[in-house]
Structure formats: C-alpha cells, structure tokens
Chain A
C-alpha cells in the first residue's frame, strides 16, 4: 500500500475531491496546513508598515491506495489541482507498512 500526500491550493480542494471520487478513490483525509515553498509568502500592509507573511495557507490531502492505483491517482490529482501558476503544490508517495479498518479488523488492501 502507498500513502499519497498532496499539498494543493485551498480553492482547488473541491475539484480535487470530485476528481478523486470519479477516479474511484473511496476515501481521503484533508487538513488545512500552512507552509512555504518556492512561491514564498506575501506581504500585508497595516498603517503603512509592511508585514512579511511567510506561511501560505494550503490544503494537505492524504490518500492510501493499492500500488496499482498510484499512477492513476497521481494523474487525477495533477489534473485537478493544476493552475499552471507558481504555488500549485507538490505530491509525494510513501510506503505504508499496514492498514487496519477499526470496525472489522480487516488488514491490507481489504481495509482501503
């Protein structure tokens, strides 16, 4: 099993969710996060003084899938989350040792 983690622009999360559903992904976990990449932060001006806001709001999407689903899930994510502009985010994939459905005790692919 693989854990796909994607950092996307907050306004794209509905598109991402709908695209993943259509692609047959049965569950995702979403968190509001802050951070910076090459996009950097932005400045805000209060009473003429500039404040550097380093951390940009993003949404983190986590999906656990079977290995054969990884490529199509990434393809779907990239299409749905892309605007072509700086700050579109990143996707990374990690191995997952095991997964357990709490209600039934099912393990592995059966629990996805």
Chain B
C-alpha cells in the first residue's frame, strides 16, 4: 500500500475515534444536568472495552477469512500474523474498523438514557458487539448479503440501522422513564458535539474508501453536502411547522444527513448527496414524533435519527448508485439505468439486519433483566444517575 493511502487510513481511524466524545457531548447536552456524566461515561466506556475486544477476537470473527458467508474465525486471535505482516496496511485497517465497532454500541446509549444501570450497560456493550455487530458486519462486508450485491459504503446497514433497531428493542424492554422529561440541559454542548461528529464523519465516510482515492474525495464531498442539506431542511420544516429555526433542529438534521449519506458515500455523486441529505432531514424531523404515537421512550431519538436515517440512505442507493461515475464495479441504481434489483437487495440486507439485531438485542437485555437487572431504582432515577452510579456531579452550583 502506498504511504499516502496508509496515512489516510490511520488519520481516518483517529477521526472516527474522535466521534465518540462528539457523540457523548451531542447526547450529553440533550440529557438533563443530573444525568449528563452517566451519558458521557456510557459513550467513553465503548472506547475502553471495544478496541480491546476487537483486537482479541472481534476483528477475526468479523473479517477472517473475508470470503466466509456468515462468520469469520479465530484464526487471527490477538491479530495473529496481522501485526507483523507487510507494510502495516492491514494493521491500520483493523484499527480503523475497531473505531467503528466502538462507536456503534455508543449510538444506542442515547435511547436508554436516564434509567439504565451502568453495570448492565457494561456487560451489554461487549456482548452486543460480538452477537449483533460482528455477524451483521460480516454479512454486509464480505459475507452473504454483500455477495448478493447489496451496498453499504461506510456502515448504514451494519452500523446505523443495526444500532437504531437495537435501540428500539432496548427501550421496549427497559420501559419508559418515570416522571416528567427534562428539556436539553445544555444546547451549546449539543452544538459542539455536533461539530465534532461532523468533523469525525469525514474519516468515517471518506476513510471507508480505504485509500486516498478519487472515491474517497467524492465520499468526502458527499459527507459535506448531505450534512448541510440535512440540517438546512430539518430547520426549514421546523421553522414553517413550529415557528422557530432551532439549534437542536440544525444539529439533528446535520446528523440525519450524515447518517443517510454513510451507506451511499462512495456510490453517489452530483446532486444525489444533497437530495439524500435533504430527504433524511425532512423524514427524520417527522420520524422523531413516532415515539409519541407508538408510546416508546427513545430518550434522545436514536430510532428517529439513526434507524430511520440509515434506512433512508440505504434505500436511496437503489436509486442513485452510479458505477460509471466512479469507474467501479457495482450495481446501478434506478436513476442510472439499473433495474429494481439493487433496491431489492438494499431492502433485503436491511431487513435481515433489523430482524437479527432486534432479536439478539432483546435476548441479551432480557437475560440481563432477569439476572442483574437493567434499571436503576426510582430514587436514583429521580435524583440523577451521576451521583448514584458514578459518585460525581457535573455542575457544582
């Protein structure tokens, strides 16, 4: 591998790692002041446990050998020969993918906010990564879903849909929060978190080309445009519908646009990222209301933004995929001379991910519920999780 490509993968890995504190602040600002530290810790914990798990067995189960249909192997336990092999390109890729594995369960934290026991979260994260993330990742990248022709450039199906549906399963098992729900305690934290996420997402998407290539540059541009369009259109809907252009609307739309462009980033060009981002902004702006309609307590809208945004982006690949532009081999979307085949494969891949992740997440959480318990007691929930679970207080005054 050329040094430029190797350098870009390592920088991208660091950019993706930086998304975890970004996500923590994005969620933490939206949370109440008595639970903000618990939210930060749930996110940072993912960056503590998952990289180790990934290197010990996660990567091997997810990718070695690449051709396996359903699951990898333990051939690269503790990375095996990978660490010494060649020019470091595989090692850099393992690190890059390890960051993805770390941020995926972190996404779920926003849904279970304000009421989940940290001990349950501490067990849930590594078990979920092994049983839900690794298999779906394998099927999409190199496994049977990818071989059938479905496309997922940087993790729409494997990451956002996977984590989004897990979030739904989690809140259904966990139950609703008690008492009144607080509004965001610090919008400035939400906005700086959003900025960090956007910045890191360039590594997430453009890094997924695994080379400093033209495809990477287009993914970079798509990431830029879809986020802007998502934020713009969410704010427009809000302004017309509710009367104010809000910071939270801008932040949510940016993230919705980023989520939606993630699976498509290396397959679309031209006006497509703007359309994908705009549609994600509009659709997710309405999707966050589903929780009221269907009466589930997705605290910080992981389902409405990540699940719905991921589905929107993944399905739109079926319309906008343009292999001629990239001079690469993949299925054409409907707008570029393809038939409905790609759209069907996209729907199938997401359907499989949804069913698998929902069932596995439910089993893990029910098992935890009947053993150690997954909810804090009523008094802890009322007084705040920060002091009771972590012995810390975010703001002294």
Contacts and interface: CB of A to CB of B under 8 A. Distances in A.
Contacts of A53: 183
B147 interface: no
B241 A47 contact: no
A98 interface: no
A44 interface: yes
Interface centre among A45, A47, A51 (most CB of B within 10 A): A47
B183 A47 contact: no
A92 interface: no
B292 A45 contact: no
B238 interface: yes
Contacts of A44: 183
B249 interface: yes
A53 B182 CA distance: 9
Interface in A28-81: 44-49, 51, 53
A47 to B, nearest CB: 5
The number of chain B residues touching the other chain, given as a range, is 10 to 19
A56 to B, nearest CB: 15
Nearest to B300: A47
B288 A47 contact: yes
Nearest to A47: B288
A49 B248 CA distance: 11
Interface in B275-313: 285, 288-289, 292, 301
Contacts of A46: 30, 183-184, 246, 248
B183 A48 contact: no
A45 B252 contact: no
A48 B289 CA distance: 8
B251 to A, nearest CB: 10
Contact of A48 (B181, B182, B288): B288
B390 interface: no
Contacts of B288: 47-48
B244 interface: yes
A76 B246 CA distance: 40
A48 B184 contact: no
A49 B243 CA distance: 13
B329 interface: no
B327 interface: no
B379 interface: no
Interface string B237-261: 0100111101011001000000000
26 contacts: A44-B183, A45-B242, A45-B243, A45-B244, A45-B246, A46-B30, A46-B183, A46-B184, A46-B246, A46-B248, A47-B248, A47-B249, A47-B252, A47-B285, A47-B288, A47-B301, A48-B238, A48-B241, A48-B242, A48-B285, A48-B288, A48-B289, A49-B289, A49-B292, A51-B183, A53-B183
Interface of B: 30, 181-184, 238, 241-244, 246, 248-249, 252, 285, 288-289, 292, 301
Given A46-B248, A47-B288, A48-B289, 7 more contacts: A45-B243, A45-B246, A46-B183, A47-B301, A48-B241, A48-B288, A49-B292
